[in-house]
Structure formats: C-alpha cells, structure tokens
C-alpha cells in the first residue's frame, strides 16, 4: 500500500506537469476578472490530473468498489462536462440536468438511494419511501455543487477534500470495511501535488487550478461514498446524520449562500464574493490564514461527526448540534457587514492606543 501511494504521488505530479502544458495550448485556462483576483492565465487541470490518477488506480484495483465501472463512467461524464464548462461556460441548467441524470443512473444500477434518514427524533428510523428518489437527486446535485462553490481561494478545495476523505477513511477502517479506504487514500495523496502547485509552492509560473471538472468529480465521489456507507443494510458504516458533519463546511456555506441569494431575489447560482473565504479575508486574514482557519474548522466539525459515530451519540443530539452550528453560521453571514465594521473599528481603536503609547514613550 505504501509503495502504491508513493507511485500515485509521483504520477499525480507528472500528470499535472503534462496536462498544464496541453491546457495552455488548447486554451483551457482561467482568466482573471472581477471575482477572480489571480494574475495571468492559469491552467484548469487539477481535476483532469485527479481523474487520470484515479483512473489508473481503478484499472489496477477494479474490485475497490461494488460498482467500479459505474463510478468510472460517472466521473468521466462529469470531467468532460466540467472541462467544457471551464472552457466554454456552458449553461448551469445543462450541468444540473447531467448531474440529475447520473443520480438516477446510480439509483437504477445499484438499487441504492437515500431511503432513510436514521433515528433523528428518537421515534424510530425515518423512511423516505418514494420521496427517497427525489431526495437523492437533490442530495447528489447539492453535494456536487457544494464542493464546486467552495473552491474560491488557493488550496481550499483540496484541503476540505482531504478532511472529508480522511474522515471517511477513518470511519471505514473503524467499521472494518476496507472496500473504499484505498480510493480515499488515493484521492488524498493525489491531492497533495495539486495543492503544492495551486499554492505556488513550486513557483507561480507552475500554478494550476482545479476547475469545475475536478470539483464536480470530488463532490460526486463524496456523495457516492456517503450513500454506500450509510444506506446499504449490509454495509452499515455510518449513520446518515454523520454524513452532514463530514461535509459540514461545504454544505453550510452552500446552503447559507443560496438562502441569502434567494432572499434577495437573485438566482441561487449567481456568483458573488460573499462566501466564507471572502468574509475571512475582509476581516483581515491573509489567504493562507483563511485557508488554515477554514480547514481547521472543517476538521473540528468532521472530527465531531467521527466521534459521534464512534461513541454512538444519539442522532437527535447530533441533529440539534448541527442545526445550532448552521444557525450560528448563517446568522454570522447575515450580519457580516456589521461584524466586519465592528472588527475594523476595534482594530482602529487598538492602533490609536498603540500610537498614543508610543508617543507617551
């Protein structure tokens, strides 16, 4: 396993270097605009590289999943769709249609859906019945777009993905279910070279972005693993409520943003600069400090979910805790301008006090 992960690490690096050169030639690059403050055209190949490395892993480990062929087909479609969107900016309705179609295909082939929500209220397992099909489609679309929307600053999507896949690997290992640990580790290891190049550690001229192709593949992988771990009677790894803690930051950020956009009469898919990472930077954090802070909070929330599963904390307590966390998050975002002004006011006061102290000296 160790040697396999080392090979994956170097394969990821090689694929990034190769694909970025191809991307520059065909124009698969991200140009700066009013929302994107980077410098120059940056190749959008992180997701393509991740797909290539994962494909190689699946080729040599075809039994890693119960439906490896189906998973490979889904990520291939999403990578192609994402690459086209990265280059030509296709309609979000077409993207959602493709995502919904893949969700239905997964349910048809695997006979698995989000059919129950667990014992959330202490009155027994909540079954969704026929509504489970609709709920599953929305869950798949939601998870894919949650990871897509959170990709706003260098390293963030990679960092949050590592937190999610690490939590899944831990829970799978603790439950004695090793069917997808290898895939989780592969994605984590393959993400490290991407993060190095995305953060410019190897030089800004070698910088790459993940692109919609990568974020959609990551979101699809996460939701399929969560469904497999929480919904199959023969493979009980986690309770459904644990899943929301594992993807807490992407989920809460997407939900809060979309709620605010709808309340303002805007499209829930209209881009803006009011995500959590934007707010952290307005409060004075540098991009790297913002990255560290958000990933740390994500790890704490995912860790709480893991502990809740390990110690079998009541699902009703886990649900109420998540609602409280989300309410605090959404409220903070709703009043962020006042909070930002207050923080800046305090900083101004602290600066004045410091100047007076220096003058007194």
pLDDT digits (tens, 9 = 90+) for 231-267: 876 667 899 999 999 999 999 999 988 888 888 777 7
Taking alpha carbons only, the member of 220, 243, 221 closest to residue 231 is: 243
Range of the domain at 205: 2-360
Please check the confidence at residue 226 and state whether its pLDDT lies above 90: yes
d(CA 237, CA 173): 9
- What pLDDT does residue 361 have? 45
d(CA 296, CA 51): 26
* pLDDT tens readout for residues 281-338: 877 888 899 999 999 999 999 999 999 999 999 999 999 999 999 999 888 877 777 7
| Helix 287-310, helix 315-334: angle, nearest 10 | 160
Say which residue the tokens 């797909």 belong to. 51
- What pLDDT does residue 39 have? 59
Please check the confidence at residue 356 and state whether its pLDDT lies above 60: no
Q: How many domains does the chain have?
A: 1
Those residues whose C-beta lies under 8 Å from the C-beta of residue 148, and which sit 6 or more positions away, are 212, 215, 216, 219
Rounded to an integer, the average pLDDT of 126-147 is: 94
- Parallel, antiparallel, or unpaired for β 29-30 and 42-43? antiparallel
* pLDDT tens readout for residues 16-57: 999 999 999 999 998 875 555 555 689 999 999 999 999 999
How high is the mean pLDDT of the chain? 89
* pLDDT tens readout for residues 67-93: 999 999 999 999 999 999 999 999 989
Q: Identify the bridge partners of residue 29 per DSSP, sorted by sequence position.
A: 43
């Amino acid at each position: 396993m160790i040697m396999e992960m080392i090979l994956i690490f170097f394969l990821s690096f090689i694929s990034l270097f190769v694909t970025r050169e191809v991307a520059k030639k065909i124009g698969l690059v991200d140009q700066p605009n009013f929302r994107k403050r980077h410098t120059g055209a940056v190749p959008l190949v992180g997701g393509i590289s991740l797909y290539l490395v994962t494909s190689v892993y699946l080729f040599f480990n075809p039994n890693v999943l119960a439906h490896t062929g189906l998973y490979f087909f889904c990520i291939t479609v999403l990578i192609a769709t994402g690459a086209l969107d990265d280059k030509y900016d296709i309609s979000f309705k077409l993207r959602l249609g493709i995502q919904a179609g893949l969700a239905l295909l997964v349910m048809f082939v695997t006979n698995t859906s989000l059919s129950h929500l667990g014992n959330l209220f202490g009155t027994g397992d909540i079954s969704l019945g026929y509504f489970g099909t609709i709920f599953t489609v929305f869950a798949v679309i939601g998870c894919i777009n949650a990871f897509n929307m959170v990709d706003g600053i260098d390293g963030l999507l990679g960092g949050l993905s590592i937190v999610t896949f690490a939590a899944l690997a831990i829970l799978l290992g603790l439950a004695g279910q090793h069917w997808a640990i290898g895939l989780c580790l592969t994605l984590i290891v393959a993400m490290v070279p991407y993060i190095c190049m995305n953060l410019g550690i190897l030089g800004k001229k070698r910088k790459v972005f993940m692109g919609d192709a990568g974020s959609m593949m990551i979101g699809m992988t996460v939701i399929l693993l969560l469904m497999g771990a929480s919904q199959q009677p023969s493979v009980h790894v986690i309770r459904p409520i644990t899943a929301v803690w594992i993807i807490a930051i992407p989920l809460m950020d997407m939900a809060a943003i979309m709620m605010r956009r709808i309340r303002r009469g805007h499209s829930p898919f209209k881009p803006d600069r009011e995500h959590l990472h934007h707010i952290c930077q307005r409060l004075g954090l540098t991009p790297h400090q913002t990255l560290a802070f958000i990933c740390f909070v994500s790890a704490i929330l995912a860790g709480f979910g893991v502990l809740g599963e390990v110690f079998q904390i009541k699902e009703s307590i886990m649900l109420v805790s998540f609602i409280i966390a989300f309410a605090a998050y959404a409220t903070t975002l709703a009043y962020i301008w006042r909070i930002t002004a207050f923080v800046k006011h305090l900083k101004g006061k602290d600066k004045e006090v410091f100047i007076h102290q220096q003058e007194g000296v």
